[in-house]
Structure 1
Amino acid sequence: MTEHTYGEHPLSTLPEVRRAVRRLAARHGLPAGIRARLTVSVAAVARAALEDGQGVRITARRGPKEEPAGGGTLTFTLTTPTAPLPAGPGPLAGLPLPAVATEGGADWHIALPSPPDELETAASDDAAEEELAALLTELDTLAADHQQLKDELDETNSGVLALYVQLEERDEQLRRAHGQMLRELEDALRPAPLTVPGLELAVHYAPADTDAPTGGDLYDWFVLPDGSVHITVVDALGHGVGSTRAALDVTHTVRTLALDGYPMKAIVGRASEVLGGMDPDLMATVLLARVDPATGELLLANGSHPPALVVRTDGPTEYLEVPGRGVGYPLPGSEQVLRGHLDPGDLLMLYTDGLTESRRDPLEGELRLAASATRHAGRPIDEIPGAIAQDMHTVVHHPDDTLALTLRRRPGPDGASRTV
């Protein structure tokens, strides 16, 4: 075993410790990178003793070769006169080059790749520069690896971003296609537009669920054999496609009964009897209106539905109340048929409760609806329902399907009719 001790006297300063480590490490042929780590580690362990005014000694011992191609093991020992370092890894394991605590200080065991040159020496400044150059080379390598990783990450992020853009474009295409399909389905559910001399009609519909084409609010209008216009407004219980089917069943049944000549007062009750055998769970409110375009005669029957509203050209607005119970309700049917009259210019409004109960206060909603209808009654008929719905939905606490249908009587038998 070969042993080298730096100097005859204990080392008393950190620069002396560093120079000693560099010279001994260079003599035994340690690479510059390991030498730099060893220098920092030994100085860190020696610092406490030196700050207490105690000197330290450094010894390097090279053990025998363990393999023919190997250089053996080099052990650096730092001896301190202070109390022994704590056993176990402790702070020594966190050094740039971990050490093992001994009774008198610390040991560093380093495997030598090849036999050292016993005559090799190095000046302290040259050794320090060599160590610095090795560390800089290592830092440059790490920086290059970091840059490569960063470039790869940027490339990956670009690919992911491009994928997100493609997915967003695909999603937007699907949304447009879905919206188009829903609009086409909604249009298919609408009755055919009416052209009736002397009357103007328009409608606005908005579902509570934007992903559904419609809900339980539907309407129907058609001309009876006597020339009068029949209008049905239905609000079936629930939302979505299920309630749409129920509302369609009601409108089709009412149309059949009306065209078969059933008395208007009996239609709601008879519709409930017919549909109860098909769907016992179906519940819907119903409002029926008939208008004679020539005379302006108005008939109303109601089954638990919000009342119709009339905005008259020469007077205040008026809600036309008709007692009755809806389809699927106990004792269904309209208790009476209200007879009224529309003068030229009068506006009749039929709607569902989604228009007046968006703020959860039906009475307040009816007051606001009357004011809005009065404000917009003079506009073109196709603008009125949407304008009123916009007024009513400035604040929505209770979203619901909304239907607003307006009818206005025009003067003369040849008045034009427009629908939306």
Structure 2
Amino acid sequence: MTDQAAASRHVGPEGPRRTTHRSLPELRATVRSLAASLRLPAELRTRLTLSVTRVAEPELRAGRLVTLESAPEQGAREGRLTLRLHAPYAPWPAPVHGLPLPAQREADTTVWHLPLPERQDIATGAPDPTELLEEELRVAVARAESLEADRRRLTHELDETNSGVLALYVQLEERDEQLRRAHGQMLRELEDALRPGPMKVDGLELAIHYAPAGTDAPTGGDLYDWFQLPDGTVHITVVDALGHGLTSTRSALNVTHAVRTLALEGHPLETVVARTDEILMPYDRELMATVLLARIDPVSGDLTLANGSHPPPLLVSEDGTARFLEVRGRGIGYPMAGSERLWHEKLAPGDLLVLYTDGLTESRRDPYEGERRLTSATVRHRHRPTEEIPGALAEEMHTVILHPDDTLALTVRRTR
């Protein structure tokens, strides 16, 4: 029996119809012809044909038969077409997910339910396959053009949206930059209010340079204080509190205020570091800070140092001789805080004393390299005006740095 004969068994154009198929082209033509006779829209007809073909293809290519059964039901108001594809010899059920037209599984049968157009005369006679293909092609082309138009419209809208988002991003960046500048300005003003202003003392020239670890937080745990005692001696405190930002600034302020109070009350310099620890630790158990204390008589040049775990000051004479003034001790928050002894020195006219925090001397290799570089830089810059030296030292030292840290450099020169 030929394919055409196998597909010819049916009951009327409007009743149930059952055909058996041996090849894909013949099955495809039958589905397309049936859909056309029922006046299904071209796009729906195409989806149905593709779906039936995809399900039946494995069976037909394996040489097994499939049966197509259609049952159009036309009521007074609406109708539907039930299309069943039987594969009685299939070794396993055909998958129905991902079909152009959704289907259901019933044992060895795949079922489609389609709505029929409003009641109208069903076409008689076999439709021209070429005309059907051309109609489906026109619908596909129109659909593609519509999709392309939608794509262009969406692309245009997306471009406009992206432009708006970019403009908003730029505005937010500008606003963020304004807030950062305002925040930085506020902190700089706070910093200026916290740090003592310039001090003029006959016989001494003092200068300071401070740079925070980051520009977004222009204050930190490096702090200094200088003032004159009632006897005319100049007292200098340099503090490096653990951490960065406002928390460490608060810790450093507490240390400088405690030291100033003890110094003005007349406590001996050798006890001030230990007494500061005793005063502050009950209120702030997390506080850790190194501290260096210096007392200078501007008339005689007598220098006295006390140290609590802080880097040693550097003394450079007018002829370029340089040495570090080492005093052992333990800082605030350390076990047994206090300076082990005092260092006594006499500054000659022209001598330059450099006090600093470790942010100035940190290097990539070993801790002593930073001290060697600081010594070399200070010797080179010693003849510059005193107010220029701290900044010049920081600029040169920061060409080699291990990691960003708050930096403080303070210089004292005894004048003639």
Task: Give the drift of 1:29.
Answer: 1.7
Deviations 1:62-98 (A, max 9, x none): 33x3x4212x333445677x824744xx324543234
Kindly report which structure 2 residues correspond to 1:158-177, keeping only aligned pairs within 5 A, or say none.
158-177=163-182
Report the CA distance between 1:189 and its aligned residue.
1.8
Deviation at 1:290, TM superposition (A): 0.7
Tell me, yes or no, if structure 1 residue 354 matches structure 2 residue 364: no
Secondary structure of 2:95's aligned partner: helix
Match of 2:292 among 242, 261, 286: 286
* 2:49 is equivalent to residue 39 of structure 1: yes
**TM-score, normalised relative to structure 2:** 0.77
Task: Please tell me whether the aligned partners of residues 22 and 128 of structure 1 are also in contact (alpha carbons under 8 angstroms).
Answer: no
Matches within 5 A, 1:145-224: 145-196=150-201, 199-208=204-213, 211-223=216-228
Any unmatched runs of 5+ in structure 1? 412-420
1:322-352 Cα deviation digits (max 9, x unpaired): 45565677374573451312233x3211122
Conserved? CA contact 1:372–1:391, under 8 Å: yes
Compared with structure 1, are the counterparts of its residues 49 and 211 closer, same or farther at alpha carbon in structure 2 (3 Å cutoff)?
closer
Mark the CA change 1:401 to 1:54 in structure 2 (over 3 Å): closer, same or farther: closer
User: CA separation of 1:69/1:229 partners in 2, compared to 1, >3 Å: closer, same or farther?
Assistant: same
**What's 1:134 paired with?**
139
Cα distance change of structure 1 residues 402 and 120 upon mapping to structure 2, 3 Å threshold: same
Q: In structure 2, how many angstroms separate the alpha carbons of the residues matched to 1:299 and 1:165? A: 56
Contact 2:277 2:337 in 1 (8 A): no
Q: Which of 67, 77, 80 in structure 2 is aligned with 1:69?
A: 77
User: Does residue 24 of the first structure (1) align with residue 31 of the second (2)?
Assistant: no
Distance verdict in 2 for CA 1:69–1:2, change over 3 Å: farther
Pairing of 1:284-323 with structure 2 (within 5 A)? 284-292=290-298, 297-304=301-308, 305-323=310-328
Which residue number in structure 2 is paired with residue 341 of structure 1?
347
- The verdict on how the C-alpha distance between 1:275 and 1:409 changes in structure 2, with shifts beyond 3 A counting, is same
Instruction: State which of 269, 272, 292 in structure 1 corresponds to 2:271.
Output: 269
Residue 299 to residue 42, structure 1, CA distance change in 2 (3 Å):
closer
Superposed displacement of residue 309, structure 1: 1.0
For residues 242 and 57 of structure 2, the distance between their equivalents in structure 1, rounded to whole angstroms, comes to 84
Farther-moved stretch of structure 1 (126-135 vs 90-99): 90-99
Q: What fraction of aligned residue pairs are identical, expressed as a percent?
A: 52
Q: Is the 8 A contact 2:204 2:414 kept in 1?
A: yes
**Which of the residues 405, 408, 411 maps onto 2:413?**
408
Pairwise CA distance, 1:167:
2.4
Q: What residue number does 1:417 align with?
A: none
Instruction: Provide the C-alpha distance between the structure 1 equivalents of 2:24 and 2:332, rounded to a whole number of angstroms.
Output: 99
CA shift, 1:354, in A, is: 3.3
Distance 2:31 2:337 in 1: 106
Q: Which amino acid aligns with 2:77?
A: A
Aligned residue in 2 for 1:113: 117
> What secondary structure is seen at the aligned counterpart in 2 of 1:95?
coil
1:167 is paired with a residue whose SS is: helix
Aligned: 1:91 with 2:98: no
Q: What is the distance in 1 between the residues matched to 2:220 and 2:67?
A: 91
- CA shift at 1:184, angstroms? 0.9
Shift of 1:176: 0.4
For the aligned residue pairs, the C-alpha RMSD in angstroms reads 4.0
- Count of aligned positions: 398
2:86–2:108 Cα contact (<8 Å) kept = yes
Letter in 1 for 2:294: L
User: 2:316, 2:378 within 8 Å by CA — same for their partners in 1?
Assistant: yes
1:89-124, Cα deviation, whole Å (9 max, x unpaired): x32454323456689975544332223424445311
- Greater relative contact order structure (CA < 8 Å, 6+ sep): 1
Distance (Å, rounded) in 1 between the aligned partners of 2:185 and 2:302: 37
Q: What residue identity is the alignment partner of 1:74?
A: L
Q: What does the per-residue CA deviation read over 1:144-183, in whole Å, with 9 as the maximum and x for residues that have no partner?
A: 4444444444444444433333322222111101100111
- 2:81–2:114 Cα contact (<8 Å) kept: yes
SS in structure 2 at match of 1:19: helix
Aligned position for 1:375: 380
Classify the secondary structure of the residue corresponding to 1:135.
helix
